[in-house]
């Protein structure tokens, strides 16, 4: 069986809740049969557990987003350690560094990134990395504190050279809607330069909507546009790309029933 996987979606966002079944049906109609739901806090995680009970093809990740780290208490950290062990949680993320929005707590971001890498290693799960305007620091931390159960760099938008360095650390890469934009020349070069066995596509919905729906609200069904675009860039047929991404997902997340 061949299908698309959305490796990064914020399906607990308010905009989807009222008509959740419609979004799920549209995903299935677009042959998107696995979606990794990213939870940034415990409210989102509780919601994701409820959604997964109804739609088992949803997978779940949880982690403290770099821009949010000042608001979490020691009690929250204890709770994160507990939920990280839950078998429905397949990865820790999105975690990392974001120097784009606010550079006033860079040291705290680094500290929390490292702490969550160590947590992922302890519970034997991979990490999902968010890195924006922070490629070098992200690299330095990953080189010094290895994610022993694998790592996926989500929404990669850096240079080819940096991608090659991350590749040597064993990382996987995921590309979102901007890959389909005319002006994203560098990302297209990165996709061509990396081997297919390190690649994923994602929506990061409700943000980063691919062409032809650019500018409108994104949804997990739309991952097929980015996937088809990636297949064209790699000069491969869609099924080859889907099959390899399913393998990549199994390899990284150790998910069996797919
Ligand atoms: Zn995200």
Cα(222) to centroid(ligand 1), Å: 15
Question: Is residue 131 domain-resident?
Answer: yes
Cα(204) to centroid(ligand 1), Å: 5
The CA-CA-CA angle for residues 140, 143, 146, to 5°, reads 130
Cα(155) to centroid(ligand 1), Å: 8
Is residue 134 within 8 Å of 170, Cβ to Cβ?
no
CATH of the domain at 98: 3.20.20.140
Residue carrying the six token digits 């890959």: 179
Report residue 84: phi and psi, to 5°: -60, -25
- Average pLDDT rounded to a whole number, residues 68-90: 98
Cα(9) to centroid(ligand 1), Å: 7
Domain assignment of residue 146, given as a range:
4-253
Question: Is residue 151 domain-resident?
Answer: yes
pLDDT confidence bin for 8, thresholds 50/70/90: very high
Residues, CB-to-ion distance under 5 Å, ligand 1: 204
Residue carrying the six token digits 């995680």: 45
For residue 20, the SS3 value is helix
pLDDT tens for each residue of 16-46? 999 999 999 999 999 999 999 999 999 999 9
How many structural domains comprise the chain?
1
Cα(36) to centroid(ligand 1), Å: 10
- Average pLDDT rounded to a whole number, residues 220-230: 98
Report residue 10: phi and psi, to 5°: -100, 70
pLDDT score of 103 more than 90 = no
pLDDT confidence bin for 102, thresholds 50/70/90: confident
pLDDT confidence bin for 92, thresholds 50/70/90: very high
Question: Is residue 258 domain-resident?
Answer: no
Question: Is residue 47 domain-resident?
Answer: yes
Cα(87) to centroid(ligand 1), Å: 21
Cα(22) to centroid(ligand 1), Å: 22
Q: How far is CA 77 from CA 37, 42, 114, 154, 205, in A?
A: 20, 11, 13, 23, 26
* Residue 216 DSSP class: S
pLDDT score of 237 more than 90 = yes
Output the six-digit token pair for 127. 């990490």
| 58-62 vs 151-153, strand pairing mode | unpaired
Is residue 163 within 8 Å of 194, Cβ to Cβ?
yes
């Amino acid at each position: 069986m061949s299908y698309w996987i959305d490796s990064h979606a914020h399906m607990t966002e308010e905009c989807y809740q009222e008509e959740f079944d419609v979004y799920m049906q549209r995903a299935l109609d677009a042959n998107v049969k696995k979606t990794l739901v990213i939870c940034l806090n415990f409210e989102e995680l509780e919601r994701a557990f409820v959604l997964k009970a109804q739609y088992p093809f949803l997978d779940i990740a949880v982690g403290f987003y770099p821009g949010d780290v000042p608001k979490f208490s020691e009690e929250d950290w204890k709770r994160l350690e507990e939920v990280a062990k839950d078998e429905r949680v397949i990865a820790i993320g999105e975690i990392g560094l974001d120097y784009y929005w606010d550079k006033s707590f860079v040291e705290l971001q680094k500290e929390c990134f490292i702490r969550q890498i160590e947590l992922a290693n302890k519970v034997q799960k991979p990490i999902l990395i968010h890195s924006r305007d922070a490629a070098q620091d992200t690299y330095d931390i990953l080189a010094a504190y290895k994610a022993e159960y694998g790592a996926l760099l989500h929404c990669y938008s850096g240079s080819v050279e940096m991608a090659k360095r991350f590749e040597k650390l064993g990382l996987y890469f995921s590309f979102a809607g901007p890959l389909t934009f005319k002006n994203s020349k560098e990302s297209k070069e990165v996709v061509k330069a990396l081997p297919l066995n390190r690649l994923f596509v994602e929506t990061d919905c409700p943000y980063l909507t691919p062409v032809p729906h650019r500018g409108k609200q994104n949804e997990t069904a739309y991952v097929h546009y980015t996937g088809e675009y990636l297949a064209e860039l790699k000069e491969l047929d869609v099924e080859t790309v889907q099959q390899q991404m399913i393998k990549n997902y199994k390899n990284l997340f150790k998910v069996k029933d797919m």
